[in-house]
Amino acid sequence: MARVSAEPRLEGGSSIWPASSEITGHGDRSVGGVPLAAIAAEFGTPAYVLDEAEIRRRCRDYRRIFPGTEIAYAAKAFLCRGLVTWLADEGLGLDACSAGELELAVAAGMPAERILLHGNAKSPADLDAAVRLGVGRIVLDSCSELPALAARIPLGRRQRVLLRVTPDVAAGAHPAIRTGSDGQKFGLPLSDGSAEHAIGRILRQPELELTGLHCHLGSQITTVRPYVLAVRRMVGLLGRIRRRFGAVLPELDLGGGHGVGYRPGQPALDLADLADRVRAELREACTAAEVPLPRLTIEPGRGIAGPAGVALYRVLATKRTGSGLFVAVDGGMSDNPRPALYGVHYAPELVGRTAAPGRLTATVVGRHCEAGDIIATDVELPRDVHPGDLIAVPVAGAYHLSMASAYNLVGRPPVIAVAGGRSRLLVRRETQADLNHRDVGT
């Protein structure tokens, strides 16, 4: 393989491609030292490619930028056994929302004490698994969870818990992913006293040990100000807890939601600025509230996995109409529902061959029977794009497979890890036999 150039960095040193990505000979692109065309040839399409070195680098960046902070990866972004191994190796913990995520993580080697369980409606199976496995903390979301959890704690044990609080801070790229404001299903609001009422109840529950507060503002947040405001309000609550109940809580979890760019030039959250301003606000707010500095926890998911992934598709058809050029690929909303749900815009690229001169503006669409099955609009592709071509979509490591479905009975794609010039299968393709096996009756 002849290397032509490393992927150019965008302004500020960022790129929508993994740092290992290179433009290679014959119009191809490699990730982790492996040509994308070779991956498509071996594993088929659609497929997800995950750069192990990029995941590990981002884990280390978080630990370096946030020293003394617990980093709990948000499992909902994407989870598999291989990824858990990398996270545990790099010293991260895990933020889980179900018994399934808990069981997989512990089976793959994540120490249970590094795991948090949260969710607005934990099932009996979720709580049973958390207590049985001995997770480090459970994030309570409502007062109704208190007796359900307390009844499961063995005699002589106490379960460490956090309370999820809604600080009424609106943040996030789309209304469907804003979770820090009043009037939505997560947490208990500060504004009407519900959070303080719940704290009093938890402190009176002998089976539970309240160690701190939790909040999560939303997803795809690209500015620091919402986090600073949340710190101010959450520390204010810590001060009121100390005055009213005499309790000093040693932990503050600020959640995640760290935004990344999906197209060249799109903003991403500046992690160094976030760390500096959060630490400064925390010191000032704790001094004003007369409480000691709590230990911080953050929960990045997309910020670690998103830019490490690439989705590969094969072009099935092209169609020129009065409204433009449609390029239809062999995947779509079954393996990436985010454009339909949140209107996200991607930057697909032709790989695997040298293109003829000239570009056209195209809409890349999926194969499913929905008008909203669109992967990307207004993208520049070579004028000679045709069926059989290979399309690569960067920033596909988060909320793709984790939100995938078998719509139209199309099986979910595989996940292929790349590192050091080698590829290996992490998650196999869902086959027609898998789908048939679940259908048990007539």
Q: Write the CB contacts of 128 (distance below 8 Å, at least 6 apart in sequence).
A: 99, 152
Q: Which residue among 143, 215, 286, 369 is the active-site one?
A: 369
- Residue pair 248/242 in contact by the 8 Å Cβ criterion: yes
Asked if 369 is an active-site residue, the reply is: yes
Q: Is 322 exposed, middle or buried (0-12, 13-18, 19+ CB in 10 A)?
A: exposed
Helices (H), 134-270: 145-150, 194-203, 225-245
**Of 404, 407, 354, 360, which is closest to residue 382 (Cα–Cα)?**
360
35, containing H or E segment: strand 34-35
Q: What is the 3-state secondary structure (H, E, C) of 390-420?
A: EEEEECCCCCCHHHCCCHHHCCCCCEEEEEC
* Distance from the first to the final alpha carbon of the chain: 53
Angstrom CA distances, 352 to 19, 187, 236, 389, 391, stand at 19, 48, 56, 8, 8
Which residue numbers are catalytic?
Answer: 369
